[in-house]
């Protein structure tokens, strides 16, 4: 099996992608911790569930944007100009 050589921009993107993924996971975990605190403070489970959904929508948007950026960075140059 041959090793694919990555150019520096692809290598940086993969490192950046891992960093973004880690930060999105961390943000999701913090939302869960905050939700647990809200439950312990007496908020109703339905209110907390609605709050969680409202907090997770931006996280999902960020993940989607990251995925689109990664797809675009992996496309050949001639394909990028067609997509834009």
Token reading at 54: 């409202």
Residue spans of the chain under pLDDT 50: 1
Tell me the C-alpha distance between 5 and 22, whole Å: 24
Encoded tokens for 50: 């609605």
Q: What is the pTM of this model?
A: 0.63
Q: Where are the domains of the chain?
A: 19-71
pLDDT for 84 equals 52
Q: What pLDDT is recorded for position 82? A: 54
Residue-level pLDDT at 59: 87
Alpha carbon separation from 12 to 8, 17, 20, 22, 68 (Å, rounded)? 6, 8, 12, 15, 16
């Amino acid at each position: 099996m041959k090793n694919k050589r990555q150019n520096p921009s692809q290598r940086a993107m993969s490192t950046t992608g891992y960093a973004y993924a880690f930060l999105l996971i961390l943000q999701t975990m913090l939302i869960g911790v905050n939700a647990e605190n809200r439950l312990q403070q007496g908020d109703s489970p339905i209110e907390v569930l609605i709050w969680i959904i409202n907090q997770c929508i931006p996280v999902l948007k960020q993940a989607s944007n990251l995925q689109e950026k990664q797809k675009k960075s992996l496309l050949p140059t001639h394909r990028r100009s067609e997509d834009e």
